[in-house]
Amino acid sequence: MIIKNTQLQYGFEDTSYVSAGGLDGIRALVESFYSYMDSIDSAQQIRSMHPDDLTIPKEKLTLFLCGWLGGPSLYQKKYGSISIPQVHKPFKVGFEERDAWLLCMEKAVNDQPYPKEFKKYLMAQLYVPAERIRMVNE
């Protein structure tokens, strides 16, 4: 008798990518994220690190998250490999900036129709690169 695991294991193969809704779901997440970055007072410092026109940053974050979540490596195919902490090294990123970024992302994640368990998992995973960026900037 074969018993199938009915518990979804995030972070395995493409389960996180699929749980995020694939490319369209990730696009929606990124749109929501940047909307919060534009509207939350505590995020104005990190918003100022971006160009006025967010077309390219939105595309880059969307494509990066696709691969990072176990989907296709769209960012790498278009832009090449990336070291997230090193790319952000020229910017002043301390605790406040890290926390503002995470707040915008948490609000954006909560706007999505993701399962509660995936939202919790995703925020825990996003904390890691956010903290690494902060550490590189110390």
pLDDT at residue 6 in the model:
43
> What is the pLDDT averaged over residues 14-30?
97
pLDDT at residue 138 in the model:
76
3-state DSSP assignment of residue 75: helix
pTM: 0.91
114-137: per-residue pLDDT in tens? 999 999 999 999 999 999 999 998
Which stretch of DSSP H or E encloses residue 42?
none
6-18: per-residue pLDDT in tens? 456 898 899 999 9
DSSP states of 76-109: HHHH----HHHHTTTS---HHHHHHHHHHHHHHH
The more confident residue out of 138 and 61 is 61
Determine whether 2 is exposed, middle or buried from the number of CB atoms within 10 Å of its CB (0-12, 13-18, 19+).
exposed
pLDDT at residue 50 in the model:
96
Average pLDDT, the chain: 92
For the chain, list the domains and their CATH numbers.
18-136 (1.10.490.10)
Q: Which of 54, 55, 35, 134 is nearest to 91 (CA)?
A: 134
3-state DSSP assignment of residue 131: helix
43-81: per-residue pLDDT in tens? 999 999 999 999 999 999 999 999 999 999 999 999 999
Single-letter amino acid code for the residue at 11 = G
Cβ atoms of 100 and 43 closer than 8 Å: yes
Share of the chain above pLDDT 70, in %: 94
